[in-house]
Structure 1
Amino acid sequence: MVSLSLLQNLCGALLSHENIAALLVFLLVYNLMTFYQRRRYLVNVPPGPTPWPVVGSFGRFFIPAFIRRRFEQQSDSPYKNAAVAFTEQASVYGNVYSLFVGSQLVVVLNGYEVVKDALSNHPEVFSDRPATPAITIMTKRKGIVFAPYGPVWRKQRKFCHTTLKSFGFGKLSLEPCILQGLETVKSELLRLNKESGGSGVDLAPLISSAVSNVICSLILGQRFHHEDREFRTMLDQMVRGLEICVNSAAVLINIFPLLYYLPFGVFKELRQVERDITMFLKRIIAKHRETLDPDNPRDLTDMYLIEMLAQQAAGEKGSSFTEDYLFYIIGDLFIAGTDTTANSVLWILLYMVLHPDTQEKVQAEIDEVVGRHRVPSLADKGNLPFTEATIMEVQRLTAVVPLGIPHMASVTTEFKGYTIPKGTVVLPNLWSVHRDPTVWDDPDSFNPARFLDAEGKLLRKECFIPFGIGRRVCMGEQLAKMELFLMVTNLLHAFKFRLPEGTPPPPLHGRFGLTLAPCQYSVCVSLRS
C-alpha cells in the first residue's frame, strides 16, 4: 500500500516541475478513453443532458455554480443548490433521467411515485451503496450509512439498533437526557442575548452541541460541555467536511481520485478534517478499551468491544466485528446523529422568526395544553397537532438531506422503461418529492395546515419522507423526532424569537453540503411571561 506521505511527496514533485503538463495530458487522454468506452456500451439508459468530455455532466451543473459562488456578492442571480437544479431538469427529461460524473453514470429519481417505486418496491436492486471515490476514501465503505448492502451491513446495523435501544434509543427513557441539554441551551441563550446588546445570538453552536450530546451519551457514554474546545472543533470540522465533499472543488475527487492527495486548497483541508476527527474518535475508543468492564457496559462502544472480544474468544475467523469497523460506525452515528437534527431545529426556528404569526399560534397551543408551570414533554405530543404540523411543514420545505444518501443498482435492471446498468449511482431526489405538485397543493408555500384534517387533527401523509424510505431508511428516525419535538416545544415555550432590529432576513436557499443547512443567522430572544 502506498503511504499517504509518499503520495503527497509525489504530488508535490509533479506540481513543482514541468511534469505536470505530461500528467494532465495523460489524465485527459485516459479519462477520454474511459468516458467514450463506457458510453458506447450504454443502451436504453434514461435520457439526460449531453455530457462534456472527461468531466461529464459535472461541467454543466457544477462549474457554472463554482463561478457563480465566486462572484455571488456581485451577482443578483438567485442561488440554486444541486437538488433544485436536478428538480428543474425533470421538467426537461422526465422524472427518471441520467447524468455523468466523469464516466460514472448517475440516474436521478424525481417525484414521490418514482422514488417510492424504486426504493420500496425494488429494494433488492436499489439498496446498495456506490463506491464513490470521495466517500470511499473517507469511510473505506464501512459503518452503517455508506457501507454496501449485504450480510455484513445487516449484521452491523441490527447489532447497533438493538444495542442503542437497550440504552434508550427512541424510547421515552431518553427524554431526561434531551431535556438536560435543553436547560443548558436556555441558560446560555439568556446570557449570550444579554451580552449581545441587541445584535442577536447565533443559535447553531448551542443547538448542535445539545443534539450531539444526546448521541454522544448513547455511543460514547459521556457528555461534552458546549464550550469544550476539542468537542466544538469536532462539530465545526464535521460541518466543514460535509460542505467540502459536496460543495467545493473537492467534488472533482470523484473524477480524479488522486486529487485527494494534493498538498493545497480544499484537498489539504479535507485531509486535515479527516485527521482531526479520526484522532478525536480513536482516543475515545482507546480509553474505552483501557477501562472496559464487561459486566458493566456503559454505552454502544463498550457493547461493541464486548461482542468483538466474545467473537475472538470463540475463534470466529473473518468476523466483521473489529475495532476498525467500530471506528467507522461511531463516525457515522456521530455525524448522522448531529448534523441532520441540528439543522432541522435551526430551520424550524428560522421559519418561526420569519412567520411570527405561526410562532404565536404554536406558543398559544403549547400554553393551552402544557400551561406555564411545567415544561413540554413527550406525553404532550398527541395533544399538540398544530405544533407537530408546523415541524413537519418545515421539514418538508427544507429537506435537510435533499438528495438522500446515494444508492447504487446492484444488478442490471429495467425500471420505468429504461435500462439501469449494474453499478449505476442512483440519487433519490427527496427535495423533488417534497415539492411534487402532483401530491402537494401549492408545494412552494409555507402552510402547516396541509398536515391537519378538517377537525384540526394531525394528518400523516405517505409522501412525507424526510428520513428516506425503503431498507436504507434512517435508523435514527425515532430519536430525531423526539429531539425535534422536545427542543422546538421547550424553546418556543420559554422564549419569543425575532430578528435583531434592522437585520434583513437570511436567504432561504441554505448552504448545500451532504445536508442542507440554513444560512447563518442570529436571533434576539426574550422570556415569555
Structure 2
Amino acid sequence: MVDIFAFSPTTVLLCVLAVLAVLWLLTQRPSGLPPGPPLLPIVGNALSMGSDPRITFKKLRQQYGDIFSVYLFNVPLIVLNGYSALRDAIVKNADVFSDRPHTLLNDFIARGKGVVGTSGELWREQRRFTLNTLREFGAGRNIMEDKIHEEISQFLEAFETERGHGFDCIRLVQNAVSNVVCSTMFGKRFEYTDPLFITFLKAMDENFSNIGAAAVLNVLPIVRFLPGDLFKFKKTLKNVDTITSLLLHPMIEEHLQNHDDDNVDDFIHAYIKEMRLRKEKQEDTTLDLENLTRVIADIFVAGTETTSTTIRWTLAYFLHNPDVQEKCFQEIQENIGQSRRPSMKDKTNLPYVEATIMEVLRRADIAPTALPHTVPHDVQFRGYTFPKGANVILMLDSVLQDPDVWGDPDNFRPGRFHDDTGKIIKKEEFIPFSLGRRVCLGESMARMELFLFLTTMIQRFKFVPVDGRMPSLDGIMGLTHSPRPFLMKAIPRV
C-alpha cells in the first residue's frame, strides 16, 4: 500500500493538478466544433440524452441554435436543424455531406457492401442501378403496381376474416408490405403461414426491435466482449445470418440457375442481367453477388418498416378523425366507385386522399432523425469545423414540425396541402423521406404502396375504434417512430 504521506506536499499538489488538467481536457470541445451542452469526463453528454431525441434536441436547439454538437462518450454528433441548414448541407454541399459514417454494427453487418451504409463510387453505382430499376418497374412497365395489387387482394381477404371484430393489424400490415418487397425482389410472394416467411419476418422484426440496444456498440465497441448478450449484438448477427442463409442466398442461386435475359420481371434478374452485361464488356463494376445480397437486405429495411408504420399511423389518425376518413371515402366513391380497384392513374383525381397521406407522413414523423451522414475530411460549414468522420444528424422533425412553415404543426389537418382550388401544394419543406442524394431508397415504392393500399382499404372498409378506446398518438421511438399497439374494427362497406 502506497503511503501518500511519504510524498512531499509539492508532489501531491502537482499530481492533483495533473488529474484536474486531464479532466479539464476531457470536457473541452475541439476548436471550431459547434457549441453544445457541457461535457462530463468520459461519458460526454450520454447521461442527459433521454429516450426521445426529438425532445432532447429541440431543447438544445433553443439554447444553442440550428447547429450544435453533443458527445456520446467520445463520439461527437453534430446536429442540424431547420430546412435551411439541412438544404445547405446535403443539397448545396452534397459532395461532402453524402457519406455514411463507419460504425461497428454496419461494418459487421454490411461489411462494406450494399447501398444504405456505403459511400464513394461503390455506393453511387449500386444506388444508381437500384433507383433506375425500381423506377422502371414502377413507372415504365407497371410491374410493381401489379405486384402490389396481387398482395392487396390477399391482404384484404385477411382483413375480412376478422368479421368486424376488434383486432390489432400490425402483423397483417407487416406481412403484406414485406411480401410486396419479396415480389419485387424475388418475383414471388409467400403465404402468410409459410414457415420460411414467418422465420424471416421474426428475424427482421427482432433486429428492428434490438437495433436501439445494439447501437450502443457504435460508441462503446468494447462492450461486445462482455459475457452474455446484453446489447443484442450476437442475436442481431445471428438474425442477419438466418435471413441471408435461409432466404437471400437460396433465392439468388435459384435465379442464377433459371436466368433468362429476355424475361426480367424482378430485381434479382435485372441485377444479374446488368452484372453479366458489364462483365462481358469488361467494364470496372461493383455489381457482384455480394453486393446484390446486401442491396436486397437494404431494400427490405428501406421498404418495409417505414411503409407498414405509415399505414398503421394512418389508421390511428382515422380513428381520431372520422371526418377525414369519411371525406377520403366520398372522394373515392365519386371518382372510382366500388366496382373496380383503384390504380395509380386515379391519383390525380384523389387530391384529398393524397393530402391525407402526406399529412400522416408529416405529422407522424416516421423517421425524425434520418440515418446519420458524415464528411470525408474536415469541412468548414456556416462558421464551424465539421471534423473528418463526425456523425452528422439531420433532424427532419425540426422541419416537419416547424411552426414557421406549417402554422399549426401539432394539428392533423390534410387541408394544409391544398391550394384554394383543391389542388395539391408541394412544399419544399415536406421532406419525410429526407432530401439530397441520400433521399430514402424506397421512396418511389413506398409512395405507390401507400396510395394503393390505403385507397383500397378505405374503399372496402370503415375503420372504427373498439368500445370507444382511441389509440395513443404518442408513439414509440425505435428505428422508426411507430404507433403503440391498438385495436380497431374494420367494418365492410356495402
TM-score, length of structure 2 as denominator length: 0.89
- How does 1:63-78 map onto structure 2 within 5 Å? 65=51
Return closer, same or farther for 1:171/1:395 CA change in 2, 3 Å cut-off: farther
Amino acid at match of 2:252: I
> CA separation in 1, counterparts of 2:125 and 2:386?
28
Q: Does 1:44 align with 2:15?
A: no
Q: Does 1:190 align with 2:160?
A: yes
Residues 147, 184 of structure 2: 8 Å contact kept:
no
Secondary structure (helix, strand or coil) at the match of 1:376 reads: coil
Return closer, same or farther for 1:256/1:112 CA change in 2, 3 Å cut-off: same
Return closer, same or farther for 1:298/1:380 CA change in 2, 3 Å cut-off: closer
Residues 178, 214 of structure 1: 8 Å contact kept:
yes
- Deviation, structure 1 residue 169: 6.0
Specify the alignment match of 1:95 in structure 2. 66
Specify the alignment match of 2:134 in structure 1. 164
> CA separation in 2, counterparts of 1:488 and 1:171?
22
Amino acid at match of 1:99: V
Greater Cα offset, 108-117 or 302-311: 302-311
Residues 35, 103 of structure 1: 8 Å contact kept:
no
- How does 1:447-458 map onto structure 2 within 5 Å? 447-458=413-424
- How does 1:79-478 map onto structure 2 within 5 Å? 81-148=52-119, 150-168=120-138, 172-193=142-163, 198=165, 200-246=166-212, 248=213, 250-260=214-224, 262=226, 263-265=228-230, 266-279=232-245, 280-312=247-279, 319-478=285-444
> CA separation in 2, counterparts of 1:229 and 1:509?
34
Gaps of 5+ in 2: 1-20
- Deviation, structure 1 residue 294: 4.5
> CA separation in 2, counterparts of 1:309 and 1:453?
49
CA deviation map 1:157-205 (0-9, x unaligned): 12222333443468645322212211111111110245xxx3x122122
Amino acid at match of 1:512: M
Q: 2:43 aligns with which of 55, 61, 64?
A: 55
> CA separation in 2, counterparts of 1:219 and 1:286?
13
Secondary structure (helix, strand or coil) at the match of 2:489 reads: strand
Amino acid at match of 2:268: T
Gaps of 5+ in 1: 1-32, 66-80
Amino acid at match of 2:249: K
Q: 2:446 aligns with which of 477, 480, 487?
A: 480
Specify the alignment match of 1:14 in structure 2. none
Specify the alignment match of 2:16 in structure 1. none
Matched pairs, number? 472
| Cα-Cα RMSD | 2.5
Return closer, same or farther for 1:41/1:49 CA change in 2, 3 Å cut-off: closer
- Deviation, structure 1 residue 525: 1.0
Return closer, same or farther for 1:520/1:162 CA change in 2, 3 Å cut-off: same
Secondary structure (helix, strand or coil) at the match of 1:419 reads: strand
Amino acid at match of 2:251: I
Return closer, same or farther for 1:229/1:54 CA change in 2, 3 Å cut-off: farther
Residues 87, 429 of structure 1: 8 Å contact kept:
no
Secondary structure (helix, strand or coil) at the match of 1:438 reads: helix
Return closer, same or farther for 1:353/1:388 CA change in 2, 3 Å cut-off: same
> CA separation in 2, counterparts of 1:373 and 1:479?
26
Return closer, same or farther for 1:439/1:409 CA change in 2, 3 Å cut-off: same
Specify the alignment match of 1:524 in structure 2. 489
> CA separation in 2, counterparts of 1:36 and 1:151?
42
Return closer, same or farther for 1:297/1:180 CA change in 2, 3 Å cut-off: closer
> CA separation in 2, counterparts of 1:324 and 1:55?
37
Amino acid at match of 1:113: S
- Deviation, structure 1 residue 341: 1.1
- Deviation, structure 1 residue 439: 1.0
Specify the alignment match of 1:70 in structure 2. none
Return closer, same or farther for 1:211/1:356 CA change in 2, 3 Å cut-off: same
Secondary structure (helix, strand or coil) at the match of 1:471 reads: helix
Greater Cα offset, 450-459 or 389-398: 450-459
> CA separation in 1, counterparts of 2:291 and 2:423?
45
CA deviation map 1:139-168 (0-9, x unaligned): 2232111111x2221111122223334434
- Deviation, structure 1 residue 298: 4.5
Return closer, same or farther for 1:233/1:507 CA change in 2, 3 Å cut-off: farther
Residues 331, 353 of structure 2: 8 Å contact kept:
yes
Residues 143, 265 of structure 2: 8 Å contact kept:
no
Specify the alignment match of 1:510 in structure 2. 475
CA deviation map 1:256-313 (0-9, x unaligned): 2243455333233323322222223222223323333455444222332344445555
Return closer, same or farther for 1:408/1:171 CA change in 2, 3 Å cut-off: farther
- Deviation, structure 1 residue 496: 0.5
TM-score, length of structure 1 as denominator length: 0.83
Structure (1 or 2) with the larger CA radius of gyration: 2
CA deviation map 1:190-243 (0-9, x unaligned): 10245xxx3x12212222222222222222121111222321332233233123
> CA separation in 2, counterparts of 1:170 and 1:311?
23
> CA separation in 2, counterparts of 1:156 and 1:527?
44
